[in-house]
Amino acid sequence: MLKDITIGQYIPGDTPVHNLDPRVKIIITFAFIAALFFIDKFFGYLFVLAFMVMSVALSKIPVKLLFKGLKPLIAIILLTVALNIFMTEGEVIYSIWKLKITKEGLIQAGFMALRLIFLITGASLLTLTTSPISLTDGIEKLLNPLKIIGVPAHELAMMMTIALRFIPTLLEETDKIMKAQMARGADFETGNIVSRAKAMVPLLVPLFISAFRRADELALAMEARCYRGGENRTRMKQLILEFRDFAAICITIVFFAAILWSRYLVR
């Protein structure tokens, strides 16, 4: 299960999506997420599907890898669907004891399921096609205007990127600790949810120790390389918007306009 989490992973490549400016990819990702919350008809998800299919095809990221990232969140998606089905008032279709399935609940559950699936896959595509260094540079450039009011843009970008970068590392460390404890008789797979949660408690101490050790090693490595924050730092690769970046922005504007059209103009 831990190996199925794809957030924070990066797959190197030389595709149109990989080569986009990280600032553009971050803006497109936020626009894509915002568009999901404007959709109020199932018809609108056709535009989202077309946009995702085009992005995945251009990035050459395996579709199996995107769906693999959904596996750890299936329980959350199913819980959200169930809550919407049984908790939404409306025209009753079927009753089970005191629970009522309504037409409006089924529609709302479908909306929420599709929204979560597209949101997770769209956000995963950003980290899968953007290296941690590029992501840091992109976030810092976007936050630079906030320096006027004292926001530490470089430090915030560095912290967010390091957090994303260490998600796969910590998951791998957790998997190793679990296998080591299972070899010594620990049981993480039997029993109910409460007993499984209690069985995970012994993982926390060695995992925290490992995380603090890695953080200390990273800090020492950065100090050994004379890292002093973002002031007066230069970059080997400067971020320059090219034709493909403007083309991607134009496609995103058309996509967002189509979503707004499906919401406000289609009856």
- Tens of pLDDT, residue by residue over 12-54, are 888 999 999 989 999 999 999 999 988 888 888 999 999 999 9
Give the model confidence (pLDDT) of 126-176 as tens digits.
888 888 778 878 888 888 888 788 777 777 877 877 777 777 777 778 878
* Cα angle: 248, vertex 253, 256; to 5 degrees: 125
Average of per-residue pLDDT values in the chain: 82
Give the pLDDT band (50/70/90) at residue 254. very high
CA atoms within 13 A on the CB side of 77: 16
Higher pLDDT, 92 or 113: 113
Q: Please report, for residues 26, 102, 131, 165, 185, the alpha-carbon distance to residue 127 in angstroms, rounded to integers and kept in the order given.
A: 10, 38, 7, 9, 37
Answer whether residue 266 shows pLDDT above 80: no
Q: Is the pLDDT of residue 255 over 90?
A: yes
Ordered by start, the domain boundaries in the chain are 1-130+240-267, 156-233
